[in-house]
Amino acid sequence: MNDRAHTWVLILAAGAGTRLRSLTTTAGGVSVPKQFCSLYGGLSLLEEAIQRALQVAPSERVCSVVAPEHSQWWKPALRQLQERNIIVQPENRGTAHGILLPLMRIFARDADANVLVLPSDHYMRDETAFAQWLRAAAGLAVTAPDAVYLLGIDPDEPDTELGYIVPQTRGEYGVSHVSKFVEKPTMPQVHALRRQGALWNTFIVAASIRSFIMLFAKRLAETVNDMLTVSVADPSESGSAVGLDRLYRQLPSLDFSRDVLEGQEAMLRVLTVPNCGWTDLGTPRRVAQTLQQWPEDSRTSHRPGAGGDPSNLSLSAQYLRAISSDSGYDHYAKH
């Protein structure tokens, strides 16, 4: 990477994880958002995302967006981040605003920033290999700052819960312009997209801060200006907080992929990367598949920083408990 001094990582950790509640609800009835759960015990998915981020940028330039109602979980999980790098959004207004707000906060501090956006609900079997591609994506934001780069992976099955990227050209691995981007297509669309050589969208995105702003401004120009106004103010001042709260009350709920990326293919590039055991743990089916494919001993033996807080809710323990009292593996493999 040519300019690590302006490389930032933004971790998305404000979601409620509603699709996974059948696995993330404790025996006492408490629903723990998935990013604060672990796969096998120990480090939470959010803590693993932080370890991933630190492979790309130093801790002082790693940020996370969170929800106020989740503070009991994110305060201990984010203890290694600077307080000003923890951006609390007043309300959930969809992933578009969940990304835009922290981007504006970063822009107010570093107008030359290059940002890698990371979800906090992913699992990579080979973290070391995947880290190389994360650094490559961040490097593209530095060396070719006029585009927005998506990480794409060859799909190994049809899945309507993910986004699909059709590259204009397909090499083994590398960068291509994007001819089509489709978020959560129907099954017939999925089959058609796969015939066109479509890749899964990992929801990992890298770009210069200015390209990110341009991407949003083409759809949400007024909101970008409003977000910037409240972001340049001192966040410790009550007036800034009031202004942000007032702004959020007026915002519609918008999805980043569907409402920002779709239709803006001219600005998009896709970096095709090998799978490395990547999966999105967004649904019970995905969790079940991951647990079936990579048993605990093969996973924990190579994880950096293995350990973590043993009190983190374990998705594997929840899954085993569920299938022992539910309709078996098939229930989770299909939903």
Whether residue 158 is contained in a domain is answered as: no
Whether residue 174 is contained in a domain is answered as: no
Average pLDDT over residues 249-260: 96
Structural domain of 229: 4-144+203-263+279-333
Average pLDDT over residues 160-179: 89
Average pLDDT over residues 73-91: 96
Whether residue 171 is contained in a domain is answered as: no
Average pLDDT over residues 82-96: 96
- In one-letter notation, the amino acid at residue 241 is A
Whether residue 165 is contained in a domain is answered as: no
pTM of the model: 0.91
Whether residue 160 is contained in a domain is answered as: no
pLDDT in the model for residue 310: 65
Whether residue 169 is contained in a domain is answered as: no
Is 282's pLDDT higher than 90? no
Whether residue 151 is contained in a domain is answered as: no
Residues in the chain: 335
Arithmetic mean of pLDDT over the chain: 89
Is 297's pLDDT higher than 80? no
Q: Which range among 7-16, 153-162, 326-335 has the greatest average pLDDT? A: 7-16
- Residue 279 burial by Cβ neighbours in a 10 Å radius (0-12, 13-18, 19+): buried
Give the CATH number, domain containing residue 41. Answer: 3.90.550.10
Q: Sorting pLDDT into bands at 50, 70 and 90, what band is 300?
A: very low
pLDDT in the model for residue 2: 43
Average pLDDT over residues 140-163: 93
Q: Which of 81-90, 244-253, 258-267, 296-305 has the lowest mean pLDDT?
A: 296-305
Whether residue 166 is contained in a domain is answered as: no
Query: How many domains, the chain?
Result: 1
63 or 322: which leads in pLDDT: 63
pLDDT per residue over 203-245, tens digit each?
Answer: 999 999 999 999 999 999 999 999 998 887 655 555 567 789 9
